[in-house]
Amino acid sequence: MLVSDAPQGSPQWFAARLGRATGSRFADVLAGGRGLSRRAYATQLALEIITGSPTDTFVSLAMEMGSEREPLARAHYEALTGNFVTEVGFCEHDWLPCGVSPDGLIEDEGGLEIKCPKERAHAEYLTLPAEPPAYTAQIQGCLWITGRKWWDFVSFNPSFPVNARLIMRRIPRDEAYIQRLEAAIESFSSEVQDLVTLIREYRNPVL
């Protein structure tokens, strides 16, 4: 694993991710067949490789709010667990064109994924025994690429009472899931390269 120390959201961080499948989109890669979201994502990455420029730099208000709250969430997590969180940039897979951007690494065996959702979603997460299914691919992808044994999913919303502001669920490695994800990434990477070849070698027919 190659780890970049470039801060997440920096130009260097975007450059490290260029043309690579990233953890937040692993669920799209796992979509059955060549689903619309998977195909669109493959096209996006192919265009990044062709143009040398990132295509997904949009930051929504919800994402901006999450970024602002993340340091506070991390501090609450450290106070609750006693774990010291090491912040990192982009973690690249050793040979496949993919990577993840963990919200933190914990000693030699753990990692951290922080979400700062709106009130309704946070309340729903209180009832779940594990991570919300929408984040399973991202978390198992982090476990796969970093080689860690467990990952803590954290949901944080400061509007809640102190006892319910932070939700934590510890997620173990799921080797069967990771094997499916690795196979999907390999197949997806071939799709991206096929699109790159198509664009670079395209010729109009001579009439």
Beta strands in the chain (DSSP E): 2-3, 21-22, 85-86, 91-92, 98-100, 104-106, 110-115, 150-156, 166-172
The full set of domains in the chain, from first to last, is 2-201 (3.90.320.10)
Q: Quick one: pLDDT at residue 35? A: 63
Instruction: Look at residue 7 in the predicted model and tell me its pLDDT.
Output: 87
pLDDT (tens digit per residue) in 156-199: 999 999 999 999 999 999 999 999 999 999 999 999 999 999 99
Q: Tell me the CA distances in angstroms from 173 to 60, 88, 101, 154, 189, one per residue in order.
A: 31, 20, 17, 17, 23
Average confidence (pLDDT) over 83-105 = 96
The 10s digit of each residue's pLDDT in 7-21 is: 888 899 999 999 999
CA 153/CA 64 separation, integer angstroms = 19
Let me know: does 93 contact 1? Beta carbons within 8 Å.
yes
Please check whether residue 138 is in contact with residue 27, taking contact to mean a CB–CB distance below 8 angstroms.
Answer: yes
